[in-house]
Structure 1
Amino acid sequence: MTATPFDRREYEDRIDRTKTRMREAGLDALFVTDPANMNYLTGYDGWSFYVHQGVIVSLEHDQPVWVGREMDANGAKATVWIDHEHIRSYSDDHVHSPVGKHPMDYVATVLEELGLENAALGVEMDAAYYTARTHERLQRELPEATLVDADLLVNEVRIVKSDREIEYIEEAVRLSEAAMEAGIDAIGDGVPESEVAAEIYQTLVGGTDELPFGGDYPAIVPLMPSGEHTGTPHLTWTDEPFSAGDPVIIELSGCRHRYHSPLARTAVVGEIPDEMAHVADVVVEGLNAALETAEPGVTCEAVELAWRETIAEHGIEKESRIGYSMGCGYPPDWGEHTASLRPGDETVLEENMTFHLIPGIWLDEFGVEISESFRVTSTGAERFSSFPQKLFSV
């Protein structure tokens, strides 16, 4: 019997809310290729997104249809809530085909069998795994259908979390905290960066003796820029050793049933320079000003404004966004691609929205990241983590 992280009623509610959005957009059907959205709607969980796969949601059918590679069909049977007759698979000669076949040829056949050959079909035009060839092939094989950009339709359904989703994020943060502690403890003069990364991964997946669970692979690998590169936030690690005086940024996330709770902290090998300590103090002050502003009815841009006005008092500016909605995710990202904490985003906060607030300051000489994942409650923002908000000297 298939064991899913959520009960059937929750999945059915997700389908109903997705169909409501589809009707509002004038769609007859939706073809979902974002792995996080596939998981959200069906429970499907497998490292198979390197080949073409998707989920079809039709207004005329109660259950969605999963479509993927033949060797992954049993994986679908092991993870999805839908009845197995709604699992459809294409033969392996469609994969990297030397004879001109493409998985979308088969998807088009399934859509025709569902009576959707003339449908207004929503597709996720900016999803990482919806390729230009995919779009071209669907257009060719379904000449009477109208392909409509429905990017982020499901993402917007996902933005408010259920109580069960919040529980998984709370479990993920326990892994985040443990891995952050393990990483900071492992840093030292002469220690290779790769050894620290290994300690982090061990904890993210294996957990600790105090935790009754381990973790899944995160959607983003641990980010670990160090030394003169801490002004560049998205570097990973090398096998070079740390040296005395090196600043080190660690950004990571535990993962439970594909739900994340990202966390970032900054450490220094040895004594913390005064200028860096000052910037860290400003980051913490601005971060908490933003958290104090976040509550239902407030816009994303108002949260960012609280941060910007606070750091401006110290003569510091930051142009990039300071956070984004997050939750369920697969590589390459744990963000939901919807609401951002930035000027111009008028998304109104609602209870049980969840965000990663990461107001990093990246200068030419060094960078400082101290972040918090939080949820919007009925009365304000609640941090998922209780990890100390400070620079660490190691």
Structure 2
Amino acid sequence: MGRGDFPAAEFERRLGLVRGQMGARSLDSLVVIHPASIHWLTGSEAKSYQEFQCLIVGARESSPLVALVRAGEVHELETEARVDEVVGWGGGIAEDPIAAFEAVARRHGVLGGRVGLEVPGYYLHPHHYEALRDLIGADRLVDATLLVADLRMVKSPLELAYVREAARLADLGMQQFTAASPLGRSELELAGDIYGALLGAGSGIAASPINLVSGPRSAYSHGAPTERRLAVGDFGSIEFGATFKRYTSTIGRQFVLGRPTARMRELYDVVRAASDAMLAVIGDGVAAIEVHEAARQIIAAAGLDRYRVHLSGYGLGPSFPPSWAEPLHLLEGTSYTLRAGMVITVEPPVFIGEEGLGARIIDNVIVTDSGADLLSTVTRDLFEVA
């Protein structure tokens, strides 16, 4: 994605929403760290997130948007991003990025004011956080980790169009998997087929690698493909993401080579019923906890609650490695409310290590005023491969 993927008015609307939240929190400046937040505000896809990067947003409408990135990404941001100033650090020389930040912050009057800071888990080193806290002052530093992230969760019509295209591409990848018999082929070979189909059809590289498990590995909830060759009797699951202009859609399906055992069918039926229950509850204004509970109760009634080893779903948006998830998690304790325009995953799990079996179906939906708009057109039935 670049600044040309959205009209200028959409970027201006987003910046206006951010400044509105800054005003509500009495922030003079906001230091944005997460690459998805920077992407949403500027269109930048630059890989500076591998080192220190930030976008400085001033509270006043006249304040420039200032990006501080690795020297190697300066030209990319100048060309592709909607920013007023780009400053590079490091590159061919050793340089402390916090010293570079201090120079920029002093020049733009950031220091001495009340500053919001994003503190995402993957993209800000602890020693950089400590240096920023000491520089800005602990009494003036405000945790603003979710300020932009929460605003991003409700998608515009054009964003939703990009999500739908990503879902179309994900369906193509799953159709590639189901079109050819996996018998005797390795998990890695099958993953290669899917990646080839996705990239050949125009998908970008997804933020998180494919999960593909078979046989006793089907009990692994996030297992990467291996050299293991599929054999008759294998139960398994596959999950991957496709992207379009950084907007992600994921899909996951359950398969069996030959006829499923009674236990395999039972596990599949439980997660299918739990998924259906979630789909029936989703809608604008619904508490996220209600959606999670709809799945949890079905899994618990089947006596499998202790094998529900992770969340029932989460918010999904434009993504950068290593994750495509947004802050909304369908799990105990969530306080979010679903709003029309959100994109969420539906994926209640059952994984039983001692039995070497697991099952999960993964779908994405757009939350609408009247319910859930299911994005995939691929059957959600158990794939029984002859």
TM-score band (shorter)? over 0.9
Distance 1:121 1:220, change over 3 A: same
The residue number in structure 1 matching 2:16 is 16
Counterparts in 2 of 1:109 and 1:247: CA distance versus 1, 3 Å: same
Give the alignment's TM-score, normalised by structure 1. 0.91
Aligned to 2:83: 82
**Any idea what SS the aligned residue of 2:211 has?**
coil
Runs of 4+ in 1 over 6 A off after TM superposition: none
Deviations 1:278-304 (A, max 9, x none): 221221122111111111121011112
User: In the alignment, does 2:361 pair up with 1:393?
Assistant: no
**1:341 and 2:330 equivalent?**
yes
Q: Distance in 2 between matches of 1:163 and 1:126?
A: 27
Gaps of 5+ in 1: 208-213
In the alignment, is the contact (CA less than 8 A) between 2:33 and 2:120 conserved in 1? no
Residue 66 of structure 1 corresponds to: 67
8 Å contact kept, 2:115–2:136: no
Alignment of 1:74-223 (within 5 A): 74-83=75-84, 86-92=85-91, 97=94, 101-142=95-136, 146-186=140-180, 188-207=182-201, 214-223=202-211
| Contact 1:121/1:145 (8 A) holds in 2 | no
CA distance in 1 between counterparts of 2:138 and 2:309 reads 45
In structure 2, C-alpha distance between the alignment counterparts of 1:234 and 1:350, rounded to whole Å:
29
Amino acid in structure 1 at the alignment position of 2:161: E
Gap change, CA 1:163 and 1:63, over 3 Å in 2: farther
Residue aligning to 1:325: 315
C-alpha contact (below 8 Å) 1:3/1:79 kept by paired residues = yes
Deviations 1:214-255 (A, max 9, x none): 011101111112221221111111123222222221111110
Are the counterparts in 2 of residues 186 and 196 from structure 1 also a CA contact under 8 Å?
Answer: no
1:230 pairs, out of 218, 236, 244, with: 218
| 8 Å Cα contact 1:264/1:372 also seen in 2 | yes
Check 1:239–1:182 CA distance in 2 against 1; reply closer, same or farther (3 A cut): same
Partner Cα separation in structure 1 for residue 133 and residue 122 of structure 2: 19
- Please give the alpha-carbon distance, in whole angstroms, between the structure 2 residues aligned to 1:157 and 1:63: 21
Where do residues 25-40 of structure 1 align in structure 2 (5 Å cutoff)?
25-40=25-40
Three-state SS of the structure 1 residue aligned to 2:381 is coil
**CA shift for structure 1 position 138:** 2.1
**CA displacement at 1:270 relative to structure 2:** 2.3
Contact 1:3 1:78 in 2 (8 A): no
Q: Secondary structure at the match of 2:123?
A: coil
Q: 2:375 aligns with which of 376, 381, 384?
A: 384
Secondary structure of the residue that 2:4 maps to in structure 1? coil
Cα deviation, 1:97-139, whole Å, max 9, x if unaligned, reads 3xxx311211111111111111222212233111112112224
Distance 1:23 1:93 in 2: 39
Output aligned runs, 1:37-52, within 5 Å: 37-52=37-52
Q: In structure 2, how many angstroms separate the alpha carbons of the residues matched to 1:390 and 1:144?
A: 54
Match of 2:243 in 1: 255
Q: CA-to-partner distance for each residue in 1:307-332, whole Å, 9 max, x for gaps?
A: 22333443332363201111111001
Verify the 8 A CA contact 1:172 1:256 in the aligned structure 2: yes
- Cα contact 2:3–2:44 (8 A) shared by 1: no
- Quick check: 1:34–1:127 contact (8 Å CA) kept in 2? no
Distance 2:350 2:50 in 1: 34
Distance 1:267 1:351 in 2: 32
Identify the range of structure 1 (364-373 vs 139-148) with the bigger mean alpha-carbon deviation. 139-148
Which AA in structure 2 matches 1:36? A
* 8 A Cα contact 2:309 2:349, kept in partner: no
Deviating more after overlay: 220-229 vs 136-145: 136-145
Give the superposition deviation at 1:370: 0.7
Q: Does the 8 Å contact 1:326/1:355 carry over to 2?
A: yes
- Equivalent residue for 1:211? none
Q: Gaps (5+ residues) in structure 2?
A: none
How high is the sequence identity, in percent, across the aligned residues? 29
8 Å CA contact 1:187, 1:242 repeated in 2? no
Work out the number of aligned pairs and report it. 379
What is the match of residue 340 of structure 2?
351
Contact 1:182 1:200 in 2 (8 A): yes
Give the whole-Å Cα distance in 1 for the aligned partners of 2:39 and 2:173.
Answer: 25
Match of 1:270 among 258, 262, 273: 258
CA distance in 2, matches of 1:186, 1:361: 27
The CA distance in 2 between the partners of 1:110 and 1:54, in whole Å, is 11
CA distance in 2, matches of 1:115, 1:47: 27
